[in-house]
Structure 1
Amino acid sequence: MYLNNHSYYSLRYGTISEVELLAMAKEQGCERFALTDINNTSACLNFIRRAPEFGITPVVGIDFRNSAKQLYVCLAKNNEGFLELNSFLSKHLHDGSDFPDVAPSFAHGIVIYPYERLLELDKYYFGEQEYIGVGIRDINKLRFSKLSKYREKLVFLHTISFRNKRDFNTHRLLRAIDTNMLLSKLPKSQQGNLDDKMVPLTTIEQVFAEHPHILNNTGQVLGSCGIHFDFSKERQNQNLKTVFGNSSEDCETLINLCEAALPKRYEVVGETIRKRLHKELSLIRKQGFVSFFLINWKIVEYAKSQGYYHVGRGSGANSIVAYLLGITDVDPIELDLYFERFMNLYRSSPPDFDIDFSTWDREDVTRFIFEEFGNQGQAALLGAYVTFKHSGAVRELGKVFGLPKHEIDRLSDGRFNPNALDDIAKLVLRYASYLRGRPNYLSIHAAGILISDSPIHYFSATHLPPKGFPTVQFDMHTAEDVGLYKFDILGQRGLGKIKDALAIVEQNYPNVTLPDIHNAKPLFKDPNINAMIERAECIGCFYVESPAMRMLLKKLGVNNYLALVAASSIIRPGVAKSGMMREYILRHKNAGRRKQAHPVMWDIMPDTYGVMVYQEDVIKVAHYFAGLDLGEADVLRRGMSGKYRSREEFQAVKAKFISNCRERGETDEVIFEVWRQIESFAGYAFAKGHSASYAVESYQSMFLKCYYPMEYMVATINNGGGFYRVETYIHEARKHGARIHPPCINRSAIETIIKGKDIFLGFQHLQGLEKRTMIAIVEVRVNGKFHSLEDFIERVPLGIEQLDILIRIDTFKCLGKEKRSLLWQAHYAYNNMTVHREQQPLFKVQHRHFTLPKFTVTDLENAFDQMELLKFTLCDPFLLLEKPPTNKLLSMNLASHLDKEVMIYGYLVTAKNTSTHKGDAMYFGTFLDQAGEWIDTVHFPPVAKSYPFRGKGIYRITGKVVSEFGFLSIEVAKQERMAYIPDPRYNSRMDSLPMTS
C-alpha cells in the first residue's frame, strides 16, 4: 500500500535508512514495498539486495521534486523502467534544469500525481501509466472533485519520511542546513509534514472503507512493478563484455599480445614462464575477465602513445599477463608472486589494477576512457557518500540555531563543561549525535571509473560534479554487489617528478643518452643506487623519503630490490600496529629468533620468516593454517576493512576460521594471536605485487636522484614537493652542488629552472604574486630581456604592490642595482604615472632621472625578505639566531655519545604526532643540524606535554642518544625554540632621504 517512501538518501530530507524502512514494512505485513527517494537512487540497489531478507518484493522509483515541491512520484515497472527513470532524472541533474510540471510518457514507468498538484495543473487527461495519488487528507475533498470520476486511476499516495517526532525535528534541521537558513526562518514550503509517518494498514483500510477501489488500484499498481538484479555469488560480471566485438576475438587478441611481449620481457622464455602464462590465461578466460585486462591495456597504450608515465599496482600486479601487457612493470616470476591473491576459481571479482599517472596526465586519460568506452552511456565515475562527522554536524547545527562562532568552535572542539551548557547547546550536541554517520551529500570516489556492458543508467542515475564526468549515485561496495568492478585511475606526483626530471636532464645534458626507465631490472643491480638506499639518502624519492621509511631502511639494512619490496609493506600502519614490524626486523637480523615462528606459518611464509607482511599472507594463512577454501579466505581478506566487515558472510568465515583451527589441534592462545595479527593489519597491508610496483617507482626515482640529483630536485619542487616542504628539497639540491638563486626577472620562469648548476626559483613560490603577473612577465620577455626597471614598468602592466614583491625578493639583481634604490625609483614612477596600469601606454613615457645616495642592503635584510615572501630563507638559518649556538655537536658525532645525554641544535623539518597504546600524545621529530644533516628525535608523552613544538625554527634539544637496530635517535628530555634576531628591516630608523636630480 505504500507507494512513496524516503530513506535518508533523500539527502538532507529523509531520516531513515533503507534497511530500517524494510524492517518497518515487514512489521506492517507488507509483501511489496517501494523506495522512492527524492531526486536520488543511491539506496535502490542495496534496497533490492536486502529486501528478500525481510520477505519483501522490492519496488523502486523516484519522488521528483523541484526544491522541496513535489511534482510526481514515479515507479519502475521493471529494469527497463528503472533505466527510463534514471535517464530522465540524470538529464535534469546534469543540466541543472527544473523538472517539467508533467512527466514524460514512460514506456515502463508509472507516474503518480498528488491530488493537490493535479488541482494546480488543472489536468484531467491521463495516459495509460498515469495515476492520481490520494492521501488521507484528500479523501474528504475527493467526492467534490471532478477527479473522483477517474475511479480506475485513483491510488493511495502517502509519504513516509519519519518514524517519530525526533525524526521530524531532525528533518527540519536538515532542511535548514540544506537551505542555509536559521531554523526559526525555515518556511513551511521547505519542510515535510509531521504526518509523513507510516500509517498502520488497519488505519488505511478504515479511512478508505468507502473507497475500496482506491486500495485495489494501489495493490494492482504495486503488483505490476518488480525489478531484479543478481546479487548472488554466481552473479555475472556486469562490466563491458567485449572490446573487439566478440569474445573469441578478444581472447585471440589477448593471447597474441602476450606472445608478442614474451621475448621483450624475458631473455629466456622457460617452462616456468610458459606454465604460469597458460594457467593465468585459462583462468582469465574461464572467469570472463578477458575484457577487463584488455580495457586496462588500452588505457595504458593510450598513455604511452602520449608519452605519459604510469605505474600499475594493486593485486593485479601479481599477474604475468598484466606484466606482458605493460599494465605493470613487476615480474611475478622473479618475485614468486602468489597467483591466487589476484585470481582464483572462488573469487567472483576481477583483480585490482590501480593505475597511477601524473596529476596532469590523469585528466586526459580519464577523458580518453569516457570517449573510448562511454559513447553509449556506459561509463561513469564511481560515487561516494560524505557522511556527517561529529565536528561538522555540530558546526552546521550551531549555525542553524544561530549560535555565535566562538560558541560553535567551543562545542565542535569539545572544550566545554557539560554541566554548564544551556538548552540550545545541549540540543546541538544531541542532534549532532543523531546525524553522525548519516549521508550528507554525494561525492566522487578517489579513483574509480565504471565501464558497464549495459548503459550505466540501468543501475543508477548520475549527477555531474565539477570534474564534468557523469557520476553514479552509489559507492564501490554497492557496485561490487551488483557485479560492477571499478577501474582505478589515480593521480600521483611521483610520476610527474620522474617525467619532468627526464625532460630537465635532456635539456641540461643534451649529449646524454638516458636508459629506458621503464626497464627497471638494470636499476635493481646498480651498486650506487643500492648503496644510496642502504644509507637512506632518498630525500625526494617516491615512498622512501619519509623519516619513518628512512629509519626502516637503516634498521633493516636494505640494499636490494627484494628487501625494498618487503620494506614497502612493512612500513604500512597495520603491520606496525600488530607488532609484527618489530618482529620482522628481529628475525631478519637474528637467525636464532626465527625459531620462534609457528611451524605452519614458517612453511607458508619462509621469505618473511613466518611473519605476515603482505595482503596475500592473509589468504595463505586462512587457506593453509585454518583450512578455509580460497573463496572464504578472500572474504576474510576483504572483510578486514570498511563496510564489508559487518556482513554476515564475513562473520561466518571468522567463526569457521576459529573452529577449523581448533579441529586441527591449535590452542586458543595461538588461534587468537594469529587472528589478532590478521585483524590488525590486513586492511592496511599491501599485496606483494603492489609493494613491488611501488619499489619499481622508488628505483626509477632513485636512479635520477643518484645520477642527476640537482635536476631531480628541480622536478620535485615543480611537482609540489613530496613529504617535505620546498625548502628541504632546495637544501638537498644545494648539498649536491647546486647554486640557489631567488627568482630572476630575466632568467626565471613560473616554475623553477636549472641551467648548469644554477637553480633559479620560479615566480610561483612568491607569496602574494598573482598568476597573471607571472604569465605577463614570461610572455612579455619573449620579445626581449628587460634592460632596466623603467623598461619593465613600461612593458608589464602591474600594480605597485606586485612590483614591490618582485623588487624585495631581488628579481632585478641581474640589472646591477640594489633593491632599496629600485624601491625608491618604483614608488616615484608610480606616484607620477597617469596611465592606467591595466593598459599599455600609447607612447613611451619619459622619466626624470635622479641621483640617489648609495644604499646598503645587508644579507640579514635579504634573509627576512625571503622568509616573508618565500616562507623560507636561502641562507643558513643558524645565522639568524639571536644568540649563536653554544656548541657545535653534529649528527655525525652522536654515535660516540651513545646512551649519554647531549645538547644539540636542530632546525625543525617536520614533526609527526602519534599516540601510545594508552592514547597519550607523543611525537617523532626530524631536524637538520648545523652541517645540514639529519637529527631524529623521540618525544614521549611527558616531554611532549611539557615541551611542545612551537612552529618552525631552531630548537636547542637536550636528551639521551639511543640506538635501535643501528638507527640513532635522541630521546628528548627538554627542548626550547631559540629566538631569531629582531627583524633588521624594522629595527633601524630609516629617515626619508632627499633626492637630487
Structure 2
Amino acid sequence: MAQIGTFGTMLARGAVRDVTRALGFPYALGDQIAKMIPMGVQGFPMTIERAKKESSEFKELYGNDQDTKTIVDMAEKLEGNARHISVHAAGIVISPTALTDYTPLQYDTKGETSDGVRRFKIITQYDMYSIEEAGLPKFDFLGIRNLSIIADTFERVRKLEGTELSLEKIPLDDKKTFRMLSKGQTEATFQLNGSGMTRALMDLKPTSIHDINVMVALYRPGPMDNIQEYIARKHGRKQATFMHPKMKDFLDTTYGVLVYQDDLLMTAIEVAGYSWGEVDKFRKAVGKKIPEEMKKQHVLFVEGCIKHGGMSREKAEALWELFVPFQGYGFNKAHAASYGHIAGSRQTSPRSTCRPCSRLRVATSRRSAPWSRSAGRWASRYCHPRSMRASPSSPSWLPKARRSTRSASA
C-alpha cells in the first residue's frame, strides 16, 4: 500500500517565469510577461496559445519585443511538461503483491515533521491514471483532521461534565448556531472559516443546515459566482426562476440556482432526455474535467434540450452556459451534505456553543504550531468579549472579578 504520486505541470505563467530565470533575463521582465497571461479556471488552465488570442496586450508585446518572443517561444515548448512530483491529497493504491511489481516507488520530496522527527512517505511514481492502466485499484481516503478535533472535544466534555455527545445525535436545527454564523463567528469552524466565506455567510444569514450545505458547495472555484444570486433569491430581492418547468422539481429548494453537480445531471435527464447510462458519462466528463468529452456533451445536451425539452436552440445554449462554471469545480450533493454536517457539528450542539474553550483548546493542540494566528484571532473574537482568557496552555472561562489574576481549565 502507498499513497499515489501526482505531477505538477508547467503552466503558462510558471513556464514563462522559469524560462526567464533559466535564460538569465531580469525577473521583472518575466513577471511582466506572466501577468499579461489571463488566469484560467481550475481544471481548464490558460495556455500560451489561448493567451495570444485573448489578451491583446500580451499579443502586442510578443510581436514587438524580441526578448519577450524568445521567452514565450521557449515557454510554449515546455508548457504541459511535468515540473515536480507531489503527493495526491487522498489517493491510495493497494496491490495483491509487492507494489514494485506494478509501479516504481519513491519517497515524497517534502515529508512531515512530527514530534521533532521528519518522516517521508512512500509514494508511487505513476500518477492515478497510470496506476489504473497498470491494473491496480485507486482508493480515495480523505483524512479530515476536524473529525479528530470533534471526537477529542466530545471526550473532553465527557470527562469534565459527564455528558455523552456524538456526531449522530447533534441536532441540525439549532437557531443559536445560525445566529453565530450570521454574525461572522466562524473561526476554527470546518469549511466555514476564512474571510470570503465569512462575508458570504453574513450576507446569507443561514436559517437551516440546508443553507450551510449550499455554501459548502458554492464556495468553490467553479460555481462561486452563484453565491450572490442564491442569497438574493433567498431573501426575496430576486425572484426564483427556472429555465425549464421540469427544473422546478429539483431546484425548488435552491430557488432555481444550480448548486450541486447533481443539479446538472438531473437537468440532463429531465430536460435533455439523457438515460442514466448517458448521464454517467456526462458526470465523468464534468468530474474529471475532460475538455474533449465536454465538447461532445455540449452538442448532445443542446440537441437533447431541443428535441426532448422543446427548447429553442438559443435557450438551450443559454442553459448550457450555466453548466460551464461547474467544469472548474463542483460538489455533489452527498459530499456537500457530509461536509455541512461536520461543519454544523462544530456549532450546532448547544453544549458545543456553550463550551467554545474546550473546542478551541483541542483545535489548537492539534496544529503544528499550538498557538497559531488563526487561534489567536478566534480567541480575540470569542474569548475576550466573554471574559475568557486564552493562553497557549489553556483557553479558559474566567469570572469577571478574577479574569486578570488566573486561568482555570475548562
TM-score band (shorter)? 0.7 to 0.9
Could you tell me which residue of structure 2 aligns to residue 735 of structure 1?
385
Cα distance, 1:620 vs. partner?
0.9
Of residues 472, 484, 490, the one that matches 2:124 is: 472
Among 312, 315, 325, the alignment partner of 1:680 is: 325
Q: What is the distance in 1 between the residues matched to 2:371 and 2:265?
A: 33
Aligned to 2:360: 713
- Displacement of 1:551 after TM fit? 3.4
Q: Contact 1:543–1:698 at 8 Å: present in 2 too?
A: yes
**Higher relative contact order, chain-length normalized (CA < 8 Å, sep 6+):** 2
1:628 aligns with 2:263: no
**Is the counterpart of residue 411 in structure 1 residue 30 in structure 2?**
yes
Distance 1:595 1:456, change over 3 A: same
Task: Tell whether 2:323 aligns with 1:671.
Answer: no
- Matches of 1:626 and 1:738 in 2, distance apart? 58
**Quick one: structure 1 residues 420 and 712, their matched pair in 2 at CA, closer, same or farther if it must change by over 3 Å?**
same
Q: Does 1:389 align with 2:32?
A: no
Secondary structure in 2 aligned to 1:523?
coil
For residues 440-475 of structure 1, give each alpha carbon's deviation from its aligned partner in whole angstroms, at most 9, with x where no partner exists. Answer: 333321220012446544543333335544433332
Structure 2 match to 1:753 = 394
Partner SS, residue 166 of structure 2 = coil
Instruction: Give, in whole Å, the separation in 2 of the partners of 1:597 and 1:454.
Output: 53
Residue 599 of structure 1 and its aligned partner are, at CA, apart by 0.4
| Residue type at the aligned position of 1:519 | E
Structure 1 contact 460–474 (Cα < 8 Å) conserved: yes
Check whether the contact 2:262–2:332 (CA below 8 A) recurs between aligned residues: yes
> Do the aligned partners of 1:570 and 1:613 also contact (CA within 8 Å) in 2?
yes
Q: Distance in 2 between matches of 1:576 and 1:447?
A: 24
Which of residues 85, 90, 93 in structure 2 aligns to 1:450? 93
Q: 1:718-797 counterparts in 2 under 5 A?
A: 718=365, 719=367, 725-732=374-381, 733-740=383-390, 752-754=393-395, 757=398
Offset at 1:496?
A: 4.8
SS in 1 for 2:325: helix
One-letter identity of the residue aligned with 2:138: K
For residue 728 of structure 1, what is the amino acid of its counterpart? R
Q: How far did residue 576 of structure 1 move?
A: 2.9
CA shift, 1:693, in A, is: 1.1
Over residues 905-945 of structure 1, what are the superposed CA-to-partner deviations in whole Å (9 max), with x where a residue is unaligned? xxxxxxxxxxxxxxxxxxxxxxxxxxxxxxxxxxxxxxxxx
**Are residue 551 (structure 1) and residue 177 (structure 2) matched?**
no
| 1:494 paired to 2:142 | no
SS in 2 for 1:519: helix
Counterpart CA distance in 2 for 1:528 and 1:394 is 51
What is the 5 A alignment of 1:220-619?
379-398=1-20, 400-401=22-23, 403=24, 407-414=26-33, 427-453=70-96, 456-457=99-100, 459-466=102-109, 468-480=120-132, 484-502=136-154, 505=157, 510-520=159-169, 522-577=170-225, 580-590=226-236, 593-594=239-240, 596-619=242-265
Structure 2 equivalent of residue 859 of structure 1: none
Match of 1:639 in 2: 285
Matched residue type, 1:444: V
Q: Is the 8 A contact 1:523 1:529 kept in 2?
A: no
2:343 corresponds to which residue?
Answer: 698
What SS class does the counterpart of residue 490 from structure 1 fall into? coil
Instruction: Report if the CA contact (8 A) 1:394-1:408 is conserved.
Output: no
Query: 1:386 aligns to what SS in structure 2?
Result: strand
Residue 654 of structure 1: how far off its partner (Å): 2.8
Equivalent pair of 1:710/1:736 in contact (CA under 8 Å): no
Q: 1:739 to 1:621 in 2, by over 3 A?
A: same
Structure 2 counterpart of 1:609, one-letter code: Y
SS at match of 2:2: strand
Kept after mapping to 2: 8 A contact 1:384/1:476: yes
Distance between the aligned counterparts of 1:546 and 1:633, measured in 2? Answer: 35
Structure 1 CA distance for aligned equivalents of residues 344 and 360 of structure 2:
15
Structure 1, unpaired ranges of 5+: 1-378, 742-750, 759-812, 815-997
Which residue in the other structure is 2:305 paired with?
A: 661
Give the letter aligned to residue 464 of structure 1. Answer: Y
Is 2:269–2:279's contact at 8 Å kept on the other side of the alignment?
A: yes
Mapped to 2, the partners of 1:526 and 1:679 lie a distance apart of 36
Mapped to 1, the partners of 2:198 and 2:372 lie a distance apart of: 12
**CA shift digits 1:948-984 (9 cap, x unpaired):** xxxxxxxxxxxxxxxxxxxxxxxxxxxxxxxxxxxxx
- Tell me by how many angstroms 1:729 deviates: 1.7
CA shift, 1:671, in A, is 0.8
Maintained 8 Å contact 2:9/2:83 = yes
Amino acid in structure 2 at the alignment position of 1:690? H
Check 1:602–1:629 CA distance in 2 against 1; reply closer, same or farther (3 A cut). Answer: same
Structure 2 letter corresponding to 1:654: H
1:393–1:570 distance in 2 versus 1, CA, 3 Å: closer
Higher helix share: 2
- Residues in 1 aligned to 2:337 and 2:388: alpha-carbon distance in whole angstroms: 33
Equivalent residues of 1:716, 1:722 under 8 A apart:
no
Kindly provide the amino acid, as one letter, of the partner of residue 410 in structure 1: L
Deviation for aligned residue 1:667: 0.8
Change (3 A) 1:525 1:725: closer
Contact 2:360 2:375 in 1 (8 A): no
2:360 and 2:390 map into 1 onto residues whose CA distance is 12
CA contact (8 A) 1:448 1:487 kept: yes
C-alpha deviation, 1:725, in angstroms: 3.6
Distance (Å, rounded) in 1 between the aligned partners of 2:199 and 2:166: 27
Structure 1 Cα separation of the partners of residues 182 and 15 of structure 2: 48
TM-score (norm 2): 0.74
Distance 2:163 2:181 in 1: 21
1:437 Cα deviation from its structure 2 partner: 1.4
Give how far 1:663 is off. 1.4
Report how far residue 595 of structure 1 moved.
5.2
Task: Give secondary structure in 2 for the equivalent of 1:640.
Answer: helix
Amino acid of the structure 1 residue aligned with 2:388 = A
Structure 2 vs 1, CA of residues 544 and 386 (structure 1 numbering), >3 Å: closer, same or farther?
closer
Aligned-residue offset at 1:504: 5.4
Report if aligned partners of 2:272, 2:304 keep a CA contact under 8 Å in 1: yes
TM-score (norm 1): 0.33
Q: Is contact 2:63–2:69 with CA below 8 Å preserved after alignment?
A: no
The one-letter code matched in structure 2 to 1:566 is V
Aligned length: 361
Q: What is the Cα-based RMSD across aligned positions, in Å?
A: 3.6
Instruction: Report the CA distance shift for 1:499/1:651 in structure 2 as closer, same or farther (over 3 A).
Output: same
Question: Structure 1 pair 480/608, CA: closer, same or farther in 2 (3 Å)?
Answer: farther
Per-residue deviation, 1:501: 3.9
Cα shift readout 1:481-520 (whole Å, capped 9, x = no counterpart): 66644322334443454345446556xxx54023323224
Cα offsets for 1:396-415 (capped at 9, x unmatched): 445554x37xx134324438
- CA positional deviation for 1:554: 3.8
Amino acid at match of 2:394: I
Q: How far off is 1:685 after superposition?
A: 2.1
